[in-house]
Amino acid sequence: MSMKKIIPQLQDGKYVGYRVTTMDNSSLGLRRNPFILQYPVKEWYKLPESWLVEGAGDFGGIWLSRTPSRARHLVNYIWNTYNRQSRVYLSNIDEILFCNANRIKTNGIYMISEMKMKLNFNGKEWVWLK
């Protein structure tokens, strides 16, 4: 599998990504995804083997943002397009099915902790809390 020489970030020796969810920790349902999944916090969630598809296709894995800035971009897109608030979780990832400069596709995630955000003074942009 080619990952175009892009390696996800490491934290404590494990690969991490940034999972953006709805406020109830469900998948966002973007790209007409009919499979809305609910993700637990601080426990592994893995897709069944029969659901997995390697490569860049939307189906067949759990997608995460590769960097905090890409996760924030997605949060702002959801806010400005659908007027919905979302959450971002720093997450460990299991097997990498695909990775590019912006996103990681994996078979399983462990959502470690929520990264807190607030709405900026202009009401159009979410920013990280320090």
Q: How many domains does the chain have?
A: 1
For residue 26, tell me if it sits in a domain. yes
pTM beyond 0.85: the answer is: yes
Residue 109 contacts residue 61 (beta carbons within 8 Å): no
Instruction: Give residue-wise pLDDT tens across range 12-43.
Output: 888 999 999 999 999 998 877 778 999 999 99
Residue with tokens 């790209």: 31
For residue 40, tell me if it sits in a domain. yes
Instruction: Give residue-wise pLDDT tens across range 67-114.
Output: 999 999 999 999 999 999 999 999 999 999 999 999 999 999 999 999
DSSP state of 125: -
What CATH number did the domain enclosing 55 receive? 3.20.170
For residue 4, tell me if it sits in a domain. no
For residue 113, tell me if it sits in a domain. yes
For residue 5, tell me if it sits in a domain. no
Domain that holds residue 79: 15-128
Residue 3: per-residue pLDDT? 46
Question: Which residues have C-beta within 8 Å of that of residue 105, sequence separation ≥ 6?
Answer: 56, 60, 61, 62, 63, 96, 97, 98, 99
For residue 1, tell me if it sits in a domain. no
Is the pLDDT at 2 greater than 50? The verdict is: no
Identify the CA nearest to 53 among candidates 118, 107, 5, 103.
Answer: 107
Question: What would the two tokens of residue 58 be?
Answer: 């939307």
